[in-house]
Structure 1
Amino acid sequence: MGDGGRRRAVVGVSGSLGSLAALHRAVSEARRTGGELLAVLAWEPPGGEVAHGRSVFPSSAADMRRDAGERLLAALDTAFGEAGPGIPFQGLTVRGTAGRALVEAADRADDLLVIGAGSRGAMRALFPSVARYCVAHATCPVLAVPPSPLQDELVSMHRRISLRRSIDARELTDGRA
């Protein structure tokens, strides 16, 4: 086992649906192996490090770190409520890109790095894939949790609501209009 004596499930948490699915899977894996959970939220200044450095009124690092901690706690609360995950866990906020922060946090050979695989749509080409970075650079096993099939339906419903398009209630229950 690693330095702490327990196997760790290290999971990337952003608050997205995909990261919440990964969080639940990481808890299941940690519970199955008698391990512990390390939930990691990576953060960067708005616009990135370069833009932040050139900003006239940059936010303080302490404020951004506090906001990141609050987002991590909110994601854990969304996933598990007040009861928590039911296993030993730690939360960690890291200033930096998500892929690098996760690979550096999962630094033991017996860690399991759990990440949301993200969408596979056309927009993926415009944004770097955290999952790909982790698979290419991690020194431990990586488990990429695919998005829920319900996620696309939820996004579609949200889009229709925001555009004030009508929704047939039967679509919400059995998928038929």
Structure 2
Amino acid sequence: MEARRIIVGVDSSAAGAAALEWAVRHTQQGGVVIAVSVCGMRTPEGNVDVFHSARSRMVRDALGRVTSAGGVRVEQSVLDGEPGPTLVELAGEADGLVLGRHGYSRGGITILGSVIRHCLEHATCPVVVVPAARQQVA
């Protein structure tokens, strides 16, 4: 069986962390999970370095909280662009795209964010949407 390549959209939310944890846990030995944060922000001068540095730290922190399954390689990447289209393009050659869902709802109906909607409509690989971990109510 060929090793799998899974793309995970990671942000600073609990949903992004849940997506990364799910991807690592469900990727078979020999597979690669690529944790990706997409940065569409620039300074007024057009500089992206400060934003990319912050995103790199955020992805590194998220990876530090995930226990890697044996034989699964985890990589990180920060890309410039709009999140939905950038993730879809990157996932074009991948075996799957994993995204976290924040859990917003209105009137009992789940509200999907624009990035998830874009990826579900345009991705050519399977898309897994992982809900954020529910917090325990005391």
The TM-score with structure 2 as length reference comes to 0.81
Q: Residue 72 of structure 1: CA displacement?
A: 1.2
Query: Over the residues paired in the alignment, what is the CA RMSD in angstroms?
Result: 2.5
Q: How many pairs align?
A: 133
Matches within 5 A, 1:8-87: 8-31=5-28, 34-45=30-41, 52=43, 55=44, 58=45, 60-77=47-64, 79-80=65-66, 85-86=68-69, 87=72
Q: Residue 62 of structure 1: CA displacement?
A: 2.2
Q: Which has the higher strand share?
A: 2
Q: Which has the higher helix share?
A: 1
Matches within 5 A, 1:78-97: 79-80=65-66, 85-86=68-69, 87-97=72-82
Measured at CA, do residues 74 and 149 of structure 1 come closer, stay the same or move farther in structure 2, by a change above 3 Å? closer
Report the counterpart of residue 128 of structure 2 in structure 1: 143
* Structure 1 runs not aligned, ≥5 long: 47-51, 154-170, 173-177
CA distance in 1, matches of 2:15, 2:123: 20
Q: Residue 23 of structure 1: CA displacement?
A: 0.5
- Asked if the contact 1:9/1:29 (under 8 Å) is kept, the reply is no
Matches within 5 A, 1:89-108: 89-108=74-93
CA distance in 2, matches of 1:129, 1:63: 25
Higher relative contact order, structure no. (Cα contacts within 8 Å, ≥ 6 residues apart): 2
Q: Residue 138 of structure 1: CA displacement?
A: 0.3
* Structure 2 runs not aligned, ≥5 long: none
Larger Cα-atom Rg: 1
